[in-house]
């Protein structure tokens, strides 16, 4: 809301610098977005008179004008055709920075000195179009700054008001607040008018919805003349960016701005049976609104109607049918208090938000309905003529109950951490319009919408006392036990540490993704946004792969191909109509960890290396026993080169080479590898218990075993067969090499393994090792294999 200082001064005799006023408002009341100095945009523009006009020696379309502006003389070249000797005009001088963005400098035009510019209304930002130079027919004193002439020499505060301070949304409200801060009296606005002519117009108001309309006031004013409003009013409205329309509309807008109460005026002649009914609409009723929208009404909407049809959607917008026209002479003026949440609901459902609806949403002051109503009547009679032609209808069930609160000074001080004397508290509250008698606080009518609890009173005292005056007191640091495990904090930290040490950089992505990524990517039923900002951010990701591959794609398109990344974040999906949200970690590899490839071609990264990373992160997090299975979770991984690590039913990680279809889909040429880790499952199996186990320092003995075997036999089967020999000294089985030669056809593959023996008690004897080795060889012979 814009607060013009001159308008404010009509109500409070404030002498402070505007900057200081702004500072104090920021400290105690509300945010100030900007201090606007109107004069600034008209700096170095003055009133001048043309004393002589000569032809330009070298240009047919230009003339050279001699200008006098008080004591100074200027020569200015112009192309304007409406200039004449004796014309009084606005002159922009060297250094002027005009509202339309033009900067004025002394220069030469076709070789002739030109020391400024003659201005049109458009160049001064006064209108959207102009025919030639602005001629000041009222001949102001030469040399007068144009800002002064235009009465554009005010300063304005652009005040930003929070939803709990609806009372500040008017000049009167801000004046009250400022008077409280500076301890100055507020002048009361004049609402007196003469009502002497005999009332000759019937008017009846029937309120059928007292729950939605706390108060309704109406009056008929006859014999008015619709015309432009007076200049002083137009100036004030223009200053706060309200476009003057005609006297009646301007007056309702003016009173709204001045006093904060929305008003509505409509044609009395169009009112059937001189009756106003405040009621819920009937389902199916419609109204043609002033914005030309045909509004379908329901029984949830409150309307103002005559005996037959709706004339207004209450508190939101008037109807076309009863609108005031240039030849209207008799009007009904309305001022009311409507239910805030009902106005909000209707306004939201109809998609119509108006200045009025926004005020009603915040709740209006019951007493101010009458005050503003009378203020408007006074202004209408003075400006538009006419007379009060009906009794004032004022319909309400009961006045709102007076809100009374107890002042507990010790409670105020304990919550603020202060030692404010009670007398200071009372003084603060009194300045704000509260009445305090015997520790009982009465809330002024204009604050009742928001101040109705002790906490609200504490806030009032705190802010006027000044939050910056409250001393710092650090609370005791730890005086109580708290559970440690409120989050995944420690595990996430470990995971992040692990991956950064592997050479992966962390990314943070939006959770919203496009539903049109490669179809294999969506592995679960995604949650869908009802109101996405864009169609490519309209569903929530069901895995972290989508974020990481999109990021890889982005970097790839920016010519960064070698990038290993990871993300720790939530994934979301819907399962049996339930929302599931899980914290996952995903990591994407384009090259071997820890090897930055600066000049050479990419380092090869293999599925088994990735498996190693999977095992290592699980071990690092404290998982002891994991089994690897076929990946049946992520379709976007290579069906052959992917796997999942599980314990029982719980999947702890899924990893593998990215499916070639996917890399192709994103135009990525190299192989990518991906792993997704499920910490919420891992958490179940972490064992923090660490126990020392004795280890043997006796030497180990190694024996090599090499054989050809069918490709379909897994390494795990081989290990199991070796273990079947139950050798007590077999300590480890190490895979040395896999060789995929063609010696025994395409189906056979060669394994070279090393068996490591150790006796925990003593040095193994050659004989024992030979015996154990034979046992094992015998056992593996059961598999269909060829040694060699």
Partner 1 sequence: MHKQVETIQNDFASSIQKCLDLETADKIRVDLLGKKGTVTELLKGMKDLSIEDKKIYGPLLNQLRDSINSQIEAKISQINKEIMNKQLLSEKSDFSLPSQKTKTGTLHPITQVIYEAESIFKELGFVVAEGPEVETDFYNFEALNFPHDHPSRDMHDTFYLDTKENHLLRTHTSNVQIHVMKKMAPPVKVIMPGKVFRSDSDVSHSPVFHQIEGLYVDKNVSFANLKATLQYFTQRFFLKDTNIRLRPSYFPFTEPSVEVDVQCVICGGKGCGVCKQTGWLEVLGAGMVDPNVLKNVNIDPEEYSGFAFGMGVERLAMLKYGIDNIKLYYDNHAYFLEQF
Q: Does 349 engage in binding with partner 1 (CB under 8 A)?
A: no
Nearest distance from C-beta of residue 305 to partner 1, angstroms: 23
Alpha carbons 76 and 572: distance in angstroms, whole number:
71
| 402/529 with CB nearer partner 1 | 529
Residue (137 or 478) nearer to partner 1, CB: 478
Q: Which stretch binds partner 1 (CB under 8 A): 106-114, 246-254, 384-392, 471-479?
A: 471-479
Please report whether residue 575 would count as binding partner 1 according to CB under 8 A.
no
Q: Compose the 365-404 pattern: x for residues touching partner 1 by CB under 8 A, - for all others.
A: ----------------------------------------
Q: Is residue 533 within the footprint of partner 1 (CB under 8 A)?
A: yes
Q: For the CB of residue 236, give the shortest distance to partner 1 in the complex, in Å.
A: 27
Stretch that binds partner 1, among 35-43, 436-444, 517-525, 532-540 (CB under 8 A): 532-540
- Which of 34/765 has CB closer to partner 1? 34
Residue 604 interacts with partner 1 (CB under 8 A): yes or no? no
Token readout for 543 is: 């895995």
Q: Which of 61, 198, 325, 484 binds partner 1 (CB under 8 A)?
A: 484
Determine if 260 is a binding residue for partner 1 (CB under 8 A): no
Q: Which of 15, 110, 307, 453 binds partner 1 (CB under 8 A)?
A: 453
Six token digits for residue 449: 């919408």
**What does the alpha-carbon distance between residue 437 and residue 430 come to, in Å, rounded to a whole number?**
10
Residues across the chain? 788
Which of the residues 124 through 163 are near partner 1 (CB under 8 A)? 162-163
Q: Is 482 among the residues that bind partner 1 (CB under 8 A)? A: yes
> Smaller CB distance to partner 1: residue 551 or 706?
551
The helix or strand, by DSSP H or E, that contains position 59, with its residue range, turns out to be none
**One symbol per residue from 708 to 747: x for binding partner 1 (CB under 8 A), - otherwise; what is it?**
----------------------------------------
Task: Out of 292, 471, 740, 761, name the contact with partner 1 by CB under 8 A.
Answer: 471
Q: What backbone phi and psi angles, to 5 degrees, belong to 491?
A: -65, -40
Of 217, 474, 567, 206, the residue nearest 367 (C-alpha): 217
Residue 73 to residue 80: CA distance in whole angstroms: 20
Does 602 contact partner 1 by CB under 8 A? no
Report, in Å, the least distance between residue 431 CB and partner 1.
Answer: 16
Q: How far apart are the C-alpha atoms of 24 and 35, rounded to whole Å? A: 13
Task: Map tokens 């309209």 to a residue.
Answer: 538
Q: Taking CB under 8 A as the rule, does residue 37 contact partner 1?
A: no
Task: Specify the residue for token string 């025919």.
Answer: 131
Stretch that binds partner 1, among 113-121, 139-147, 245-253, 592-600 (CB under 8 A): 592-600
Binding test (CB under 8 A) with partner 1, winner from 307, 570, 624, 684: 570
Closest to 722 measured CA to CA, from 664, 656, 778: 778
- Which one of 246, 274, 574, 754 is in contact with partner 1 (CB under 8 A)? 574
Residue in 272, 440, 560, 735 binding partner 1, rule: CB under 8 A: 560
Q: Which residues contact 251 (CB under 8 A, 6 or more apart)?
A: 229, 233, 376, 379, 380, 383, 384
Tokens 């960890």 -> residue: 593
> Could you tell me if 255 and 229 are in contact, meaning their C-beta atoms sit under 8 angstroms apart?
no
Distance CA 463, CA 456 (A): 11
Would you count residue 477 as binding partner 1 (CB under 8 A)? yes
Phi, psi of 200, deg, nearest 5: -120, 5
Q: Is 625 in the site for partner 1 (CB under 8 A)?
A: no
Run of H or E residues at 355: helix 355-362
Closest CA to 335 of 270, 395, 392, 264: 264
Helices (H), 639-750: 660-665, 679-685, 715-724
Q: Which residue in the set 155, 207, 542, 565 belongs to the binding site for partner 1 (CB under 8 A)?
A: 565
CA dist 753 → 531, 733, 738, 739, 788 (Å): 59, 7, 9, 12, 12
Residue numbers 488-517 binding partner 1 by CB under 8 A? 488-489, 493, 496, 499-512
Measured CA to CA, the distance from residue 694 to residue 760 in angstroms comes to: 9
581 binds partner 1 (CB under 8 A): yes
Instruction: Report how far residue 1's alpha carbon sits from residue 159's, in angstroms, rounded to the nearest whole number.
Output: 5
- Rounded least distance, CB 641 to partner 1, Å: 24
Smaller CB distance to partner 1: residue 68 or 511? Answer: 511
CA distance from start to end of the chain: 90
Q: Which is nearer to partner 1, 414 or 781 (CB)?
A: 414
Q: Applying CB under 8 A, which of residues 73, 100, 127, 594 lies at the interface with partner 1?
A: 594
Nearer to partner 1, 19 or 127 (CB): 19
Q: Does 459 bind partner 1 (CB under 8 A)?
A: yes
User: Which of 81/469 has CB closer to partner 1?
Assistant: 469
Region 93-112 residues binding partner 1, contact defined as CB under 8 A:
none
Does residue 124 contact residue 134 with C-beta atoms inside 8 Å? yes
Rounded Cα–Cα distance for residues 121 and 759 (Å): 104
Least distance between partner 1 and beta carbon 731 (Å): 32
Cβ distance to partner 1 smaller for residue 327 or 577: 577
Residue 135: alpha-carbon gap to chain centroid: 47
Sequence-ordered list of residues with C-beta below 8 angstroms from that of 183, at least 6 positions apart, any chain: 431
| Contacting residues for 705 by C-beta, under 8 A, at least 6 apart | 752, 753, 754, 755, 776, 777, 780, 787
CB atoms within 10 A of CB 384: 21
Binding string to partner 1 for residues 301 to 340, with x set by CB under 8 A, is what?
Answer: ---------------------------------------x
Complex with partner 1: residue 354 or 564, whichever CB lies closer: 564
Which residues between 161 and 180 bind partner 1 (CB under 8 A)?
162-165
């Amino acid at each position: 809301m814009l607060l013009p200082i001159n308008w404010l001064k009509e109500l409070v005799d404030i002498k402070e610098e505007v900057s200081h006023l702004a500072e104090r408002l920021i400290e105690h009341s509300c945010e100030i977005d900007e201090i606007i100095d109107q004069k600034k945009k008209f700096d170095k523009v003055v009133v001048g008179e043309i004393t002589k006009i000569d032809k330009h020696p070298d240009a047919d379309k230009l003339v050279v004008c001699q200008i006098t502006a008080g004591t100074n003389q200027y020569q200015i070249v112009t192309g304007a055709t409406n200039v004449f000797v004796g014309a009084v005009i606005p002159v922009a001088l060297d250094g002027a920075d005009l509202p339309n963005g033009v900067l004025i400098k002394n220069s030469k035009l076709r070789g002739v000195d030109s020391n400024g510019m003659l201005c049109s209304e458009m160049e001064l930002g006064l209108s959207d179009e102009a025919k030639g130079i602005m001629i000041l027919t009222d001949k102001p004193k030469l040399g007068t700054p144009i800002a002064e002439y235009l009465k554009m020499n005010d300063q304005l505060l652009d005040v930003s008001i929070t939803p709990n301070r609806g009372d500040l949304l008017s000049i009167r409200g801000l004046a009250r607040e400022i008077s409280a801060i500076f301890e100055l009296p507020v002048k009361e606005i004049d609402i007196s008018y003469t009502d002497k002519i005999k009332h000759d117009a019937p008017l009846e108001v029937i309120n059928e919805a007292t729950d939605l309309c706390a108060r309704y006031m109406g009056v008929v004013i006859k014999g008015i003349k619709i015309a432009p409003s007076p200049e002083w009013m137009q100036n004030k409205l223009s200053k706060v960016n309200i476009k003057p329309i005609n006297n009646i509309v301007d007056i309702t807008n003016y009173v709204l701005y001045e006093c904060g109460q929305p008003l509505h005026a409509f044609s009395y002649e169009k009112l059937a049976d001189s009756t106003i009914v405040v009621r819920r609409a009937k389902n199916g009723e419609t109204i043609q609104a002033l914005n030309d929208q045909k509004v379908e009404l329901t029984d949830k909407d409150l309307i103002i109607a005559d005996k037959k049809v709706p004339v207004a959607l209450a508190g939101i917008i008037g109807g076309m049918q009863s609108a005031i026209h240039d030849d209207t002479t008799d009007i009904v003026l309305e001022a009311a208090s409507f239910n805030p949440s009902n106005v909000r609901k209707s306004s939201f459902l109809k998609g119509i938000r108006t200045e009025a609806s926004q005020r009603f949403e915040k709740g209006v002051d019951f007493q101010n309905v009458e005050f503003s109503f009378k203020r408007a009547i006074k202004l209408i009679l003075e400006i538009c003529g006419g007379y009060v032609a009906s009794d004032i209808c004022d319909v309400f069930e009961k006045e709102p109950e007076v809100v009374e609160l107890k002042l507990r000074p010790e409670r105020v001080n304990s919550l603020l951490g202060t030692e404010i004397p009670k007398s200071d508290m009372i003084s603060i509250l009194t300045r704000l319009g509260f009445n305090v008698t015997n520790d009982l606080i009465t809330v002024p009518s204009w604050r009742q919408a928001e101040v109705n609890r002790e906490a609200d009173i504490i806030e009032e005292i705190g802010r006027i006392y000044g939050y910056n005056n409250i001393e710092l007191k650090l609370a005791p640091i730890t005086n109580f036990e708290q559970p440690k495990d409120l989050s995944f904090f420690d595990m996430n930290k470990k995971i992040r540490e692990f991956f950064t040490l592997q050479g992966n950089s962390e990314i943070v992505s939006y959770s919203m993704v496009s539903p049109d990524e490669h179809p294999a990517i969506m592995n679960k039923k995604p949650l869908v946004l009802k109101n996405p900002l864009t169609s490519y951010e309209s569903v929530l990701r069901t895995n972290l792969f989508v974020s990481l591959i999109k990021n890889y794609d982005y970097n790839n398109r920016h010519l960064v191909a070698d990038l290993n990344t990871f993300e720790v974040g939530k994934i979301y999906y819907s399962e049996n109509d339930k929302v599931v949200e899980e914290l996952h970690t995903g990591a994407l590899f384009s090259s071997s960890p820890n090897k930055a490839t600066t000049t050479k071609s990419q380092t090869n990264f293999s599925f088994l290396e990735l498996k190693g990373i999977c095992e290592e992160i699980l071990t690092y997090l404290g998982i002891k026993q994991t089994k690897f299975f076929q990946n049946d979770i992520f379709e976007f991984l290579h069906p052959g080169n992917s796997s999942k690590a599980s314990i029982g039913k719980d999947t702890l990680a899924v990893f593998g080479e990215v499916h070639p279809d996917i890399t192709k889909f994103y135009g990525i040429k190299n192989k990518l590898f991906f792993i997704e880790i499920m910490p919420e499952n891992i958490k179940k199996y972490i064992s923090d218990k660490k126990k020392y186990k004795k280890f043997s320092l006796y030497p180990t003995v190694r024996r090599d075993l090499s054989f050809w075997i069918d490709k379909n036999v897994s390494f795990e089967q081989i290990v199991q067969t070796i273990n079947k020999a139950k050798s007590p000294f077999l300590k480890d089985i190490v895979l040395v090499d896999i060789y995929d030669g063609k010696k025994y056809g395409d189906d056979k593959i060669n394994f070279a393994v090393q068996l490591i023996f150790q006796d925990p008690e003593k040095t193994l004897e050659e004989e024992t090792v030979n015996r154990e080795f034979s046992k094992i060889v015998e056992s593996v012979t059961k598999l269909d294999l060829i040694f060699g």
